[in-house]
Structure 1
Amino acid sequence: MNRKLQFEYNVLQTLYWLVNLCTTAFIVPILQDQGFSSVQIGTLLGIRALGNVVFQPYLVRLLERQHKPVAINHLIAGLLVCSLVLTALQWVNPPFVIMFLIFISYGVCTFGISSFIDALYVLYDHQGHHIAYPFARGLGSLSFSVGAYFFGMIASMPLILVLQMVLICLLLVLVLKMQPVYQQHIQDVHTKSNNKDMLKQYPLLLYFLVATALAFIGKEMSGNFLIDAYKSVGGTTSDYGLGISIMAFVELPVAIFFTRFMKRVGIVRLMLISFFFSSVRILLLWLAPNVIWLHLAQVFQMLGAGLFWSGNVQFVRTIIPANYAVRAQTLIGVCYLGIASGLGSVLSGWIMQQSDIHILLEVSYIFSLLGACVLFIGTRIQKQNNP
């Protein structure tokens, strides 16, 4: 194991998930403080996700077709610079039309970073630089947890945007210092291949993508206005911050022991467990009568998304060859950051405008359960085809 590279990747995950905390868990409170309505917020989050769906696969195709290889590190750095500019523009609090354009660009730049950070690990691993990904991802969860607790105490939500800019700058410096790693060139025989060909060759990946999209629509819908769930039972922004902190903190034990779990249970079964408990968590959020119950529901993040964050990268590494690693990881990112986030955001904004948080959580649960069912069916079919 390259200790220097491991340390740098640990810090990379730690800083990234603090940025992610700003752009996901606290983006709705920020936009609410900036004066936007539920429908406008849902629209902004939806268009941000659409930008990710449209442009991130295009970035990957550009990477694969470059005659001169481009370091993934440099691509991430470029996305970070753009994200820094966009954050500064959002902090100014422009009118909705300008904010609409900003959030499209967020989808192209900021949302794309996650998949490429995961792809860094996959490519390092294929090149013989072994990194303990679950541990690094666990540190990301820890930073998310601690950050959520303290961010929840900030009285003025837009101040979080200032912290976001500082964190992006630190990430930029780090990613430029790390050892460059390049997307492996696809040989001529594969040059004409596309996502459809890859999914035909690896059908379980297709079921995984569909399941991810459905489950994360539910997760996104339940998460966008989770602060309203806390307020509906008498909670405060601080309670919400604590709830997010609990949700992230319980991911840490899973990250630490993930490799052991995977050896004993297998990556496919772990993903089934993940999708099942993700739906259980949303069910408990829906039924919660008070703040304590909401906090208890967050504990199920441990076996839900906690397994997914560590497991989806291992899933790709296990069933997909190196030359398709970035493409496969990008498709997963498009499903949960793009498709799911887009549809989930628009639906959640519309439902909140038309009804209330309880109806929103009910619909969220249905989507999440459908995702678990799709993956279960996919694994059954896979077993029948490959007895």
Structure 2
Amino acid sequence: MPLKREMVGMDNTMQRKYNALHATYWMGTLCALGFVAVLLQHKGLTNTEIGVVTGGSSLTTIVLSPVVSGVCAKVKRFSLQQQLIGFFAVESLLFSAIVFLPLPKALLMGLYIAMYALNISTVPLVSTIAMNYIADGKPVNFGLSRGIGSISYALCAIVAGQLVGWFSPAALGFLFLGANILCVVVLWRMPATYSKTEAKADCAASVSLFGLAGRYRLFFGLLLGFGLAFAASACVGTYLINIVTSLGGDASMLGVATFFMAASELPVMAVAPRLMHRFGAKSLLAAAALFYIARNGLVCVAPSLPVLFVGLAFQGLSYGLFTPIMTYYVAENLAKEHQIMGQTMIGVMTSGFGSAIGNTAGGMLQDAYGMETMLRFVLALTLAGALMVVSLRQAGKKQNVPQLAKESN
């Protein structure tokens, strides 16, 4: 009995530390990415130029993220925590230059693309830490931790919105540096975990994204569908300040809107393991795709800020459901040596491929044809992505092809 209590205490400590990692990590991400349009408009960029920056960042992520994951998978000398600390140091330098220095527009855009892409490329490492702990027999509720990260993101959005309204977007730089310092402290205090790629499996572990897509075709198809939904959501997220102002709001209301969006994720993410056990991955992913229609549809037709907030609150049942379920799907259905690259493919297809389409097209459509045209584009992408995911769920029931990822339901 004393030993059992000791194990429970150890598990609770591990969970608290991983919760703290997500809380501080997503706080920094909000400062770096959540107010991208506000910051870049303050620096003199147009909607089209902001689309080039965010779209270029997403395209860079497609190349950079697999490289980062592939290199990190082979590094044995430094733990995943130490590698993340190194990446955070580089991000801090880049973002400080962007916020505090009077840079030429071309250099500003280039630095932001690099910082944005590097930030997104670290997400698979944060997920892999949890998967490693679970593989080592240290139970961690990834969904709960990711949900706490969303609450942190939401609360930070409120604070950042107020500070930007009271002072200027330069406040984002101070918040970002503070969040990164806290995140480094958390990482330093966590039990070190290293890449689980074995030397004899190096060849398999270094499988390319194309090779992974061919090996796990259903996994790739689902991500392609969600990539379209993410393209629509990226359009909404990046230019949310323009939607808010068109409905009579300002930067502080952008913080409130972001709060509704992010805070809705915690309840869903916290119960994700139970939902996974009861309904299975494919059913939950199909549900998430349908809730993307509700989310983006309400945002696009919102006649007022309250309706916009209701639409954004569906973030929990769309993105909040997709994120932990797809992460667990990779951990349970992809070979161990492919899991870091599998987590990377999630980011590449959503934050990379999807966001590149949504951000670039969204800025151009706004400047050329107006907000209404961009919102119609958002609806079309959402419907196409949801239809693809739902149709793949139905197709998966009728076939049992060895190359497809095993289903968890």
TM-score, normalized by length of structure 2? Answer: 0.89
Determine if contact 2:95/2:112 at 8 Å carries over to the other structure: no
Q: Which residue of 1 aligns with 2:68?
A: 59
Compute the displacement of 1:275 (Å): 1.4
Determine if contact 1:69/1:183 at 8 Å carries over to the other structure: no
Task: For residues 55-100 of structure 1, give each alpha carbon's deviation from its aligned partner in whole angstroms, at most 9, with x where no partner exists.
Answer: 111122223445x454222221111010010011111241211112
Q: Which amino acid in structure 2 is aligned with residue 135 of structure 1?
A: L
Q: Which amino acid in structure 1 is aligned with residue 325 of structure 2?
A: G
Compute the displacement of 1:224 (Å): 0.9
Q: Secondary structure at the match of 2:391?
A: helix
Q: Which of 241, 254, 267 is 1:240 aligned to?
A: 254
Going from structure 1 to structure 2, the CA distance change for 1:65 and 1:285 (only over 3 Å counts) comes to same
Q: Which residue of 1 aligns with 2:404?
A: none
Q: Secondary structure at the match of 2:191?
A: coil
Q: Distance in 2 between matches of 1:338 and 1:215?
A: 12
Task: For residues 177-205 of structure 1, give each alpha carbon's deviation from its aligned partner in whole angstroms, at most 9, with x where no partner exists.
Answer: 32221222256467154433433332221
Task: For residues 11-65 of structure 1, give each alpha carbon's deviation from its aligned partner in whole angstroms, at most 9, with x where no partner exists.
Answer: 0100111112112221111111222111111111122222211111112222344
Tell me if 1:33 matches 2:45: no
Q: Which residue of 2 aligns with 1:271?
A: 285
Determine if contact 2:69/2:124 at 8 Å carries over to the other structure: no
Going from structure 1 to structure 2, the CA distance change for 1:276 and 1:171 (only over 3 Å counts) comes to same
Determine if contact 1:254/1:306 at 8 Å carries over to the other structure: yes
Determine if contact 1:225/1:357 at 8 Å carries over to the other structure: no
Q: Which residue of 1 aligns with 2:351?
A: 337
Q: Distance in 1 between matches of 2:116 and 2:242?
A: 24
Comparing 185-194 with 80-89, greater Cα deviation is found at 185-194
Determine if contact 2:276/2:284 at 8 Å carries over to the other structure: yes
Task: For residues 350-377 of structure 1, give each alpha carbon's deviation from its aligned partner in whole angstroms, at most 9, with x where no partner exists.
Answer: 1111122222121012112211122222
Q: Which of 173, 176, 186 is 2:185 aligned to?
A: 173
Give structure 2 stretches of 5+ with no counterpart.
1-7, 402-409
Tell me if 1:102 matches 2:111: yes
Going from structure 1 to structure 2, the CA distance change for 1:124 and 1:95 (only over 3 Å counts) comes to same
Tell me if 1:157 matches 2:157: no
Compute the displacement of 1:242 (Å): 1.0
Query: Where do 1:43-192 residues align within 5 Å?
Result: 43-66=52-75, 68=76, 70-91=78-99, 92-154=101-163, 155=165, 156-186=168-198, 188=200, 191=203
Going from structure 1 to structure 2, the CA distance change for 1:101 and 1:374 (only over 3 Å counts) comes to same
Equivalenced residue count is 386
Give structure 1 stretches of 5+ with no counterpart.
none
Compute the displacement of 1:379 (Å): 2.1
Q: Which residue of 1 aligns with 2:23?
A: 14
Q: Which amino acid in structure 2 is aligned with residue 17 of structure 1?
A: W
Query: Where do 1:245-256 residues align within 5 Å?
Result: 245-256=259-270
Q: Which amino acid in structure 2 is aligned with residue 77 of structure 1?
A: I
Compute the displacement of 1:132 (Å): 1.1
Q: Distance in 2 between matches of 1:87 and 1:178?
A: 26
Determine if contact 2:65/2:344 at 8 Å carries over to the other structure: yes
Q: Which amino acid in structure 1 is aligned with residue 247 of structure 2?
A: V
After superposition, the CA RMSD in angstroms is 1.9
Q: Which amino acid in structure 1 is aligned with residue 59 of structure 2?
A: L
Q: Which amino acid in structure 2 is aligned with residue 74 of structure 1?
A: Q
Q: Which amino acid in structure 1 is aligned with residue 143 of structure 2?
A: P
TM-score, normalized by length of structure 1? Answer: 0.94
Q: Which amino acid in structure 1 is aligned with residue 186 of structure 2?
A: L
Q: Which amino acid in structure 2 is aligned with residue 164 of structure 1?
A: F
Q: Distance in 2 between matches of 1:189 and 1:144?
A: 37
Q: Secondary structure at the match of 1:153?
A: helix
Q: Distance in 2 between matches of 1:353 and 1:369?
A: 24
Q: Distance in 2 between matches of 1:186 and 1:99?
A: 41
Comparing 254-263 with 343-352, greater Cα deviation is found at 254-263
Q: Distance in 1 between matches of 2:251 and 2:334?
A: 42
